[in-house]
Structure 1
């Protein structure tokens, strides 16, 4: 059964899901977690016609699932509902469920006739509107790293690498880009591939990464950065669900193991002019001025945006020496030790790979920060300095990052207010401040080991 109330693409997609009984309504929050409701098929037309009510506070729910009263979205406004509506073109099958189901992304209204400006997807959309006003189109691709782990923790409450499904032994070795690891987990990667195909998520590459049980799945570039981030947020859901069906836990935590590599979100960006030409096109021998200006903008805004790249307490464990994680804002060509890498390519496909963000970051916010930084660099025509050749760790000074400092930098930032709006600036800052204060109320096992008997 179809309905004239659904957009043509969504109606056609629904018609292909034989026997569909339930639909998940998904609203990504500021932490990138998917919140919402599950409805029956016969309620879907009403959702498209009138929307669905969800608490406005859901957008700024903290990582533990609680309302952040300091955001002003809780008791201060009576925990009001707002109308949320399906985003056309995002209704897709949910192939990992035992019975036929679908899902659709939502956007939230503000109660004043517009869309809620602090919604991360809207934050990105406003940055894209500024590009469009200049006749420019960002082309974006997202790379996500993650671990496949045991679903249960060890006796000390710590995560464990998964047991290899072929060898029957626990993964302990690091075999970067090792094809046998991909072969051993082929059941998982094939299932992810099928899920992506069913949901039209353009994933095209899987690699074994630089730690036991760590993988990376890459998404194809998009000329629509909103769709590129939709792909990323839904790919995370597909990976987690597929892993769960295999008795595994897929984790995008930035640093689950002290002695192993962290997981990152890498954003690849080029920019097209109104004629469809790449304004970054050039060579390492003759780098394009626009490329240099864009990188300078990323350098200038990095401190202000770090909280969007590293949003959680654990995010800061990832920034360690000699782990292919940038420790400052340097740049270079074909160099994985820098923050802003220009990958090897032909001149027409020159792009910036932004390597700072962790896999725990919200793709909409990371991409918004990256694109805003590039645009301000293009406008100010900054100079990023010379590119690093060789090992950036040995040639540059490493910065030491602390969660408290990045929250303060974010909250004091004129760049954030100017590019993302006062409402988002306030709500996201209060969300992270609340999370940090809650985090530091806990007494850790390390504190007990160090101080209980000794002091």
Structure 2
């Protein structure tokens, strides 16, 4: 029996996008295609195909079970994922987003990478695909005549290669022959220690047309931050997804690792992905967060209040791993609250000082270990609910917001329990998606808890 899908042509192949893609591949001399799908963790799944086969095939497929696999390669218990995926482990169907096609600059053979959207056999967007979750949220804004604009700021560490997981990570040795010891916030010379690495990083980013902006040294040893230019949320999530692949590859070419672990070293700060966000009116392009004379609008206040109200329930998308909460609890600058303030980095929600047309909210909750599609989708969903219910924010904090106390989950287990409570956030993101995501995170937490740590052997072995 033929599925309905096979009688439908994917959208990308119904217009001249196909011809444009073929022309681009021909001009670049592409011989291979990496068909990419972002998974729940935010890593790339997919297939590598000869370019001729890719263009001539009816469609590309993957097992839909890739969306219920944990970061350790395990699977949630059957009862936790019942009715979420087909028991026969059926295929999902990949549709290329032709606007995402880019070179893979680190391989010898001319190779292109294309991000794909995922569909069911009947041609519906697959509910478990993270890219579809973000699109689902963006559709709500489109109905309101609004265009979200975001700009991620992504932190990461360079570390020495570590092939034995029992040993702590160490800062890498730079050009001077010595690793960093003291804090080097915003140091130009500390960045230049790894100048050959970053020169290649920028070369690769340019070849891939990634809109990377500023590179700075953060406060941790060999901790860096890369900023992306502001644009539509889907393109920014795509670029964070691709950048992570890129910098990991560049680092290994220079005999070090790049890690987006939220808290990779005990005595160093955690790494975050701050998300700057604003809303434009479709058509006029005006920023609806402020009037021309700089007065904050009610839309801004409602959006901000939504972030304050719904962020605790959404925390699992900003802190998706056990390690994420080490950043929240022990990070020097990580926010543990939903307070807000003008140019206040102790608050979870910072309003940078800017011209009225650049008025925006900087949500500081997400760690660098997030899936960018889900973190951006979650923050936009929270803001949307604030506007829908016309919520009002608290008063801005002028001093240290940490003194007002924490109101965010401190453990993965707590975040899991909050996300499972009935809420409109689940409705926006999709009930099946949230159920699958929770099942995956429970399984990862269970797997983590099975490991007996060195701390337990050190302090409990002979003392209890």
Equivalent residue for 2:148? Answer: 138
Q: Does 1:17 align with 2:28?
A: yes
Alignment partner of 2:63 out of 49, 55, 73: 55
Distance 1:232 1:243 in 2: 16
Q: Is the 8 A contact 1:280 1:291 kept in 2?
A: yes
Partners in 2 of 1:309 and 1:35 — Cα distance?
21
Question: Paired residue for 2:18?
Answer: 7
Matched, 1:241 2:249: yes
Give the secondary-structure state (helix, strand or coil) at the position aligned to 1:15.
helix
Equivalent residues in 2 for 1:422-441 (5 A)? 422-441=431-450
Cα contact 2:160–2:171 (8 A) shared by 1: yes
Q: Distance in 1 between matches of 2:171 and 2:50?
A: 38
Equivalent pairs counted in the alignment come to: 448
Q: Cα 1:6–1:72, aligned 2, differ >3 Å: closer, same or farther?
A: farther
The match for 1:260 among 268, 271, 288 is 268
In structure 1, stretches of 5+ residues that fail to align are: none
Alpha-carbon RMSD: 2.2
1:202-234 CA-partner distances (Å, limit 9, x unpaired)? 101100011011001111111x21111111111
Q: Is the 8 A contact 1:25 1:36 kept in 2?
A: yes
| CA deviation after TM superposition for structure 1 residue 452, in Å | 1.4
Kindly state the Cα deviation for residue 394 of structure 1 after the two structures are TM-superposed. Answer: 2.5
- More moved, 263-272 vs 32-41: 32-41
Q: How does 1:368-387 map to 2 (within 5 A)?
A: 368-387=377-396
1:224-239 aligned at under 5 Å gives the runs 224-239=232-247
Summarize the Cα distance change of 1:84–1:285 in structure 2 as closer, same or farther, 3 Å threshold: closer
Aligned equivalents of 2:350, 2:81: Cα separation in 1: 36
| 1:67 CA drift (Å) | 3.4
Which deviates more from structure 2 when the two are superposed, residues 319-328 or residues 52-61?
319-328
Structure 1 contact 71–431 (Cα < 8 Å) conserved: no
**In structure 2, which of residues 39, 48, 52 is the aligned counterpart of residue 29 of structure 1?**
39
- CA drift of 1:360 comes to 0.5
1:210-225 alignment to 2 at 5 Å? 210-222=219-231, 224-225=232-233
Shift of 1:400: 5.5
CA contact (8 A) 1:13 1:91 kept: no
> Does 1:313 pair with 2:322?
yes
Query: Secondary structure of the residue that 2:427 maps to in structure 1?
Result: helix
How far apart, CA to CA, are the structure 2 residues paired with 1:27 and 1:314?
25
Determine helix, strand or coil for the equivalent of 1:31.
coil
2:412 corresponds to 1:403: yes
SS at match of 1:384: coil
Distance in structure 1 (CA, Å) of the matches to 2:331 and 2:103: 42
Q: 1:60 to 1:156 in 2, by over 3 A?
A: closer
Q: Does 2:388 correspond to 1:414?
A: no
CA distance in structure 1 between the aligned counterparts of 2:16 and 2:51, rounded to whole angstroms:
13
For 1:84, the equivalent position in structure 2 comes to: 94
* 1:38 aligned to which of 45, 48, 67: 48
More displaced, 288-297 or 393-402? 393-402
Select which of 88, 95, 103 maps to 1:93: 103
Unaligned runs of 5+ in 2: 1-12
Equivalent position to 2:135, from 122, 125, 128: 125
User: Helix, strand or coil for the counterpart of 2:99?
Assistant: coil
User: What TM-score do the two structures reach when normalised by structure 1?
Assistant: 0.93
Residue 208 of structure 1 corresponds to which residue in structure 2?
217
> Aligned to 2:370, which of 361, 366, 390?
361
CA distance in 1 between counterparts of 2:89 and 2:20 reads 34
Of 108, 111, 120, 1:110 maps to 120
Instruction: State the Cα distance separating 1:320 from its structure 2 match.
Output: 3.1
Equivalents in 2 of 1:160, 1:138: separation in Å?
39
CA contact (8 A) 1:93 1:101 kept: yes
Query: 2 CA distance for matches of 1:248 and 1:202?
Result: 24
Equivalent position SS for 2:191: helix
Distance 1:245 1:147 in 2: 16
Task: Write the deviation string for residues 259-287 of structure 1: whole angstroms up to 9, x where unpaired.
Answer: 11101111111101132110112599843
Shift of 1:288: 2.7
Judge conservation of contact 1:304–1:415 (CA < 8 Å) in 2. Answer: no
Give 3-state SS (helix, strand or coil) of 1:320's partner. Answer: helix
1:171 maps to which of 180, 199, 206? 180
Residue 22 (structure 1) shift:
2.2
Moved more, 67-76 or 291-300: 67-76
Match of 2:189 in 1: 180
State the TM-score, normalizing by the size of structure 2.
Answer: 0.91
Residues 316-369 of structure 1: CA distance to partner in whole angstroms, max 9, x if unpaired?
A: 000136711111100011111111111121111100111001000111111111
Q: In the TM superposition, what are the counterparts of 1:263-278 in structure 2 within 5 Å?
A: 263-274=271-282, 275-278=284-287
Deviates more, 1:190-199 or 1:324-333: 190-199
Change over 3 Å in CA distance of 1:284–1:246 after alignment to 2: farther
How many Å apart are 1:253 and its aligned residue? 0.4
Shift of residue 41 of structure 1? Answer: 2.3
